[in-house]
């Protein structure tokens, strides 16, 4: 990070924050993550959440069909003072491997940020739109 940020112009508070953030090593793959207890717990939490939400159903793969693979993405959430809030692991689909007309129309995952929903509800309330 020191290649991109000039530490001399930062306040001591922000300098301390950045030094704490730099110390955390984020795994590059699932094998690295499972070797450390914090990341392993984050992976188990994500799998538990996916299972409790019934995100998927295991089925036999149809012959000659392309499978959209997935990968693990790891991030560290920090508090304002630079301490670690939590380790976060997410299992994401590699949607960029889909081909239009082959498997593109068959996969849909609606995603909306909470802020977007709040804005839409606010607009609807202010303009007296029926909900």
Q: How many CA atoms lie within 13 A of 55 on its CB side?
A: 12
Q: Specify the 3-state DSSP secondary structure of 15.
A: helix
pLDDT tens digits, residue range 25-49? Answer: 889 999 999 999 999 999 999 999 9
Q: Are 47 and 70 in contact (CB under 8 A)?
A: no
Q: How many domains does the chain have?
A: 1
Domain that holds residue 65: 7-126
Q: What is residue 4's DSSP assignment?
A: T
92 located within any domain: yes
44 located within any domain: yes
43 located within any domain: yes
Residue 101 phi, psi dihedral angles, 5° rounding:
85, -15
131 located within any domain: no
pLDDT tens digits, residue range 58-112? Answer: 888 888 877 778 899 999 888 877 778 899 999 988 866 666 666 666 555 667 7
| C-alpha span between 17 and 84 (Å, rounded) | 11
13 located within any domain: yes
1 located within any domain: no
Q: Are 74 and 87 in contact (CB under 8 A)?
A: yes
Long-range Cβ pairs for the range 35-42 (8 Å, 24+):
38/87, 39/74, 39/87, 39/89, 41/87, 42/74, 42/86, 42/87, 42/88, 42/89
Q: Which of 66, 70, 73 is nearest to 98 (CA)?
A: 66
Read off the pTM.
Answer: 0.61
2 located within any domain: no
37 located within any domain: yes
């Amino acid at each position: 990070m020191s290649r991109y940020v000039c530490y001399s112009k930062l306040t001591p508070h922000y300098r301390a924050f950045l030094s704490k953030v730099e110390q955390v090593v984020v795994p590059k793959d699932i094998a690295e993550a499972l070797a450390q207890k914090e990341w392993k717990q984050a992976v188990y939490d994500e799998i538990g959440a996916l299972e409790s939400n019934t995100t998927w159903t295991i089925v036999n793969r149809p012959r000659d069909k392309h499978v959209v693979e997935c990968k693990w993405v790891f991030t560290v959430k920090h508090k304002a003072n630079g301490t670690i809030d939590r380790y976060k692991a997410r299992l994401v689909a590699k949607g960029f491997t889909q081909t239009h007309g082959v498997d593109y129309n068959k996969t849909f995952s609606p995603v909306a940020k909470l802020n977007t929903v709040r804005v839409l509800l606010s607009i609807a309330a202010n303009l007296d739109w029926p909900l």
